[in-house]
Chain A
Amino acid sequence: MSDVVVSTQGLTRRFGENIAVDNLDLEIRMGQIYGFLGPNGCGKTTTMRMLTGLLTPSSGSISVLGQSMPEAAEPLKNEIGYMTQIFSYYRDLTVMENLRFAAEIYGIPPKAAATRIDELLQTYDLTTNVNQLSGSMSGGQRQKLALAATVMHRPKLLFLDEPTSAVDPETRRTFWEQLFDLVDQGATMIVSTHFMDEAERCHRLAILQHGVKKADGSPRQLMDDLQADVIEVEGPDLRTVKHELDGKPKILSTAQVGSRLRVLVDKSESQPVDMVRHQLDAFPDLSLTPQRPNLEDVFVSATRGPET
């Protein structure tokens, strides 16, 4: 028995003419937080829905926890937790009522449920909100409640669909700490996101664009393997500089970050700094410095065109 929790071969889903997920091969190992990184409409949610058995693939095969999907969808509901993008528990019920509902739906006996709910209230810092209507809580608190309810039955595999889109950075930090705690307790997670900082926390990442997997690996590995050098340009008139560089050969992309311009140069260029300086002869006041690639550079380079 291998430690592969989820694997897919040639997973494809069409909606009419539109191909939402195209020939996707995945292998997700136990104890990993596996991220799907991509813009809206790149096929993240569709992939998750196929992995949880909500959608039937047009072609390809899925194995989840050693069973084939979507055939095993119902028996696997007890092993899987799914946290939806929008808060999907009841806004007109209190925290306690929602948690009790989750416990009863998962068939946890009353005594065990009471203990488990207490434990979750402590872990997710909801003890003071027990009798508050979840609709009247802040986005961050609601997110904690959703996570608490989702892990009620101690799922082995957890799907989180853009879990922190609607919360502040502070809440996002604590939220991720809690995810790592869950991994520590043996859970495996699949997280979809369009935030780089969130993606960077994953053990492993798949970058998706138009339903196609553009890159796959640990964030560090993806950054190290980047087929581009990063050069930061500092100085006046950055907008003009950007227009000057855009579309030039071997310039993969330019993006302004505050008072700097981040330029991606194809790896095949042996002297990237000199090359860029040469392009910018008309702007003598610029300083150019090579930089370590970050995940956004990886993302930009992976999704920029069909040649990568």
Chain B
Amino acid sequence: MISPRRVAAVLKKELLQLRRDKMTFAMVIMIPLIQLLLFGYAINTNLRHVPVALVDQSRTELSRTLGQLVQATQVVTVVEELTTPQEAERAITESRVRAALIIPPDVADRLARSPSVGLGLPDATNQTSSRPVAHWIVDGSDTMVASAIKSLRTMPLTELLKLPPNRQVPTFEVTLYFNPEQRSAVNIVPGLVGVILTMTMILFTSAAIVRERERGNMEMLINTPIKSIELMVGKIIPYIFLGLIQVAIILGLGHVLFDVPINGGLGTLLVVTLLFIIASLSLGLVISTLAQNQLQSMQMTIFILLPSILMSGFMFPFDGMPQPVQIIAQVLPATHFMDMIRGVVLRDASLYELRWEILWMIGFAALGLLAATLRFKKRLG
């Protein structure tokens, strides 16, 4: 049915065009390279050095020590010292700081009664005995900043009183697998493979076919004996290789620069990424049969790309999303791929362990290719 000669003719033509299109070829390399460097360094979910103001109304040695102790956590950095809570509020509104710590004049008194100090005073019977030592006001609009500050709520104060630390036995013991040092890059870099492949693979294929239509080549092609499937397959194959080059760049550099481990087998990695590349390419083909020009194909690509970044689990944990959103997110190949690539790269998951994701990916690719082939008519009307 399919003529390998015609597929090869399209493939060869595509490679020749790609070789002359230096900009596209450069982008194939530069997109993963630059974005890896940027995101690898930039994205950090462990918040550090949030700029805050300090309002010390006590002005005692104790309050100064408390301020230093808070800074020592490295969660916050005091960038301003203010005298009243009103000034602090203004500083937050004007976005000079994200939060302010207000140490009241009676901090020493409060501290003495604080149960966290554990001086063994009798249980509180009135309000005065149970008040916190000091007060944070926070710009709560960014939930990540807010929770970083909130994590300071139960900061141990033992050091203030020169008591031995770790007096308390934690309720739970926690052992962190796969990323014990809690480095964001370990999670980001494999995820970046999914994001960049989604972007480039869908865009390249959709644009490649729409371009033929825009330049009038399609009118010539539909007058030749070429079949839709031959055209589709011939167009896809070169981009599969480009996709693999991108994966190699991201994971290779991620390993060298950000020390991201590659725990899984390379064979498993190849299978998983190939499947995702083919699924993305077939999605691009579907777009190409819908879009009338390259601008439209670009818009549709972005329509897919944004949820692939925000909903796939690349940036925000998938488990935190409401169930209806999870169902929508699961339609996206990127969502499944995030799971698969992190599984292979970080957890050394085997193909068998990923079988459902793999099956889904094969189904998606087959469906996409079928839809594109059916939609692509060698007729004008």
Contact = CB atoms under 8 A, between A and B. Distances in A.
Interface of A: 15, 49, 52-56, 70, 73-74, 77-78, 80-82, 84, 86-93, 97, 100-102, 104-107, 133
Interface stretch (B9-17, B180-188, B266-274): B9-17
B224 A106 contact: yes
B162 interface: no
B380 A88 contact: no
B216 A106 contact: no
A90 B17 contact: yes
Contacts, number: 77
B217 interface: yes
Contact of B8 (A55, A93, A104): A104
Contact of A105 (B226, B378, B380, B381): B226
Interface in B195-230: 215-226
B9 A93 contact: no
A54 B380 contact: yes
Contacts of B380: 49, 54-55
B167 interface: no
Interface of B: 3, 5-6, 8-9, 12-13, 16-17, 20-21, 215-226, 378-381
B216 A55 contact: no
Given A54-B379, A92-B21, A104-B6, A97 B223 contact: no
Most central of B21, B219, B224, B379 by chain A CB within 10 Å: B224
Contact of B13 (A80, A91, A97, A106): A97
Most central of B216, B220, B381 by chain A CB within 10 Å: B220
A84 B219 contact: yes
Given A56-B379, A56-B381, A107-B3, A78 B16 contact: no
Given A87-B216, A97-B16, A54 B223 contact: yes
A88 B211 CA distance: 12
B381 A55 contact: yes
Contacts of B9: 100-101, 104-105
Contact of A77 (B16, B21, B225): B225
Contact of A107 (B16, B21, B225): B225
Contacts of A84: 216, 219-220, 223
A88 B225 contact: no
20 contacts: A54-B380, A56-B381, A70-B379, A74-B225, A77-B223, A77-B225, A78-B225, A84-B219, A84-B223, A87-B216, A90-B17, A91-B215, A92-B21, A93-B16, A104-B12, A105-B6, A105-B221, A105-B224, A107-B3, A107-B225
A171 to B, nearest CB: 20
Contacts of B217: 88-90
Most central of B16, B223, B381 by chain A CB within 10 Å: B223
Nearest to B225: A77
Contact of B216 (A52, A88, A93, A105): A88
Contacts of A87: 216
Contacts of A56: 379, 381
A16 B106 CA distance: 84
User: Shortest 8 CB-CB distances between A and B: which pairs?
Assistant: A104-B9, A88-B220, A82-B223, A77-B225, A88-B216, A54-B380, A105-B224, A86-B216
Nearest to A91: B215
Contacts of A52: 223
A89 B13 contact: no
B223 to A, nearest CB: 4
Contacts of A104: 5-6, 8-9, 12
Most central of A52, A54, A56, A100 by chain B CB within 10 Å: A54
B381 A80 contact: no
Most central of A70, A73, A88, A107 by chain B CB within 10 Å: A88
A89 B12 CA distance: 15
A92 B17 contact: yes
Given A88-B220, A93-B13, A101-B13, A107 B20 contact: no
B6 A92 contact: no
Contacts of B220: 82, 84, 88-89
Contacts of B21: 92
A164 B166 CA distance: 91
A282 to B, nearest CB: 54
Nearest to B6: A105
A105 B223 contact: no
Most central of A55, A70, A101, A105 by chain B CB within 10 Å: A105
Given A56-B381, A104-B5, A93 B223 contact: no
A83 B6 CA distance: 20
B207 to A, nearest CB: 14
Given A55-B379, A55-B381, A82-B223, A107 B216 contact: no
A102 B224 CA distance: 9
A81 B222 CA distance: 11
Contacts of B13: 90, 93, 97, 101
A232 to B, nearest CB: 43
A90 B216 CA distance: 9
A44 to B, nearest CB: 15
A42 to B, nearest CB: 18
B43 to A, nearest CB: 38
Nearest to B379: A54
B224 A88 contact: no
